[in-house]
Amino acid sequence: MNKSKMLSRLAMMLILSSGVIGAVHASKADHHEFEATLHAPFAADGADQERPEARTFKLAFDFPLLEREQDVQWRLELVSPDGVVVQQWQGVQRIGGKPVDVSIAWDGRADGLILTDGVYLARMQAVTGGETVEQSWDISVGHNPAQVMPAFKALPTSATPVRAAARANGRVVQGAVAATASLPYTVYLGNLHSQTNHSDGGGPLGSCTGAQAPQSAALGPADAYQYAMNKGLDFLMASEHNHMYDGSDSTNASADPAVAKALFQSGLTAAANFNSAHASFLGMYGLEWGVINNGGHMNIFNTTELLGWESNGSGQLIADTLTPKNDYAALYTLMRQRGYVGQFNHPEASGQFLVNGTALGYTADGDQAMALCEVLNTSAFSTNTSETETGRSTYEGACNKALEAGYHVAFSSDQDNHCANWGASYTNRTGVLLPNGTPLTTASMIAAIKARRVFATMDKTSQLILTANGHMMGERFTNSGALNLVANFASSSGKTVSSVKMYEGVPGRNGTVTQLSATASTTITPAVGEHFYYAKITQNDGNILWSAPVWVTQGTGGGTTPPGPTELIVNGGFESGAASWTASAAAITSDTAQAAHAGSGKAKLDGYGSTHTDTLYQSVTIPASATSANLSFWLKVVSSETTTTSAYDTLKVQVRSSANAVLATLATYSNLNKGSTYVQKSFDLSAYKGQTVRIYFEGVEGTMVSTAFLVDDVSLIAQ
Query: In the chain, what are the domain boundaries?
Result: 174-461, 566-718
C-alpha closest to that of 669 among 630, 711, 620, 703: 711
Identify the pLDDT of residue 16.
43
282 vs 687: CA distance, rounded Å = 56
DSSP state of 656: E
Residues 6 or more apart in contact with residue 19 via CB below 8 angstroms: none
Catalogue the E-assigned strands of 557-596. 566-567, 582-583, 588-589
441 vs 320: CA distance, rounded Å = 25
Identify the pLDDT of residue 182.
61
DSSP state of 97: S
Radius of gyration over alpha carbons of the chain, in Å? 29
Residue 43's Cβ-count burial label (10 Å; 0-12, 13-18, 19+) is: middle
Residues 6 or more apart in contact with residue 687 via CB below 8 angstroms: none
Instruction: Please check whether the domain covering 174-461 is classified as CATH 3.20.20.140.
Output: yes
54 vs 43: CA distance, rounded Å = 9
Q: What amino acid occupies position 81?
A: P
Catalogue the E-assigned strands of 406-543. 410-414, 429-435, 454-457, 462-468, 471-472, 476-479, 483-491, 497-505, 514-517, 521-524, 529-539
| CATH T-level assignment (fold) for domain 566-718 | Jelly Rolls (2.60.120)
Identify the pLDDT of residue 6.
47
Taking residue 96's Cβ as centre, other Cβ atoms within 10 Å add up to 12
Asked whether 634 and 572 are in contact (CB, 8 A), the reply is no
C-alpha closest to that of 430 among 275, 266, 234: 234
For residue range 349-401, what is the model confidence (pLDDT) as tens digits?
999 999 999 999 999 999 999 999 999 999 999 999 999 999 999 999 999 99
Q: Which residues does the chain have with pLDDT short of 50? A: 1-11, 13-24, 162-163, 166-167, 170-181, 558-563
SS3 state at 138: strand
Query: Got the DSSP string for 607-639?
Result: -SSSSEEEEEEEEEE--TT-S-EEEEEEEEEEE
C-alpha closest to that of 457 among 190, 185, 178, 133: 190
Distance of CA 11 to the CA centre of its chain: 40
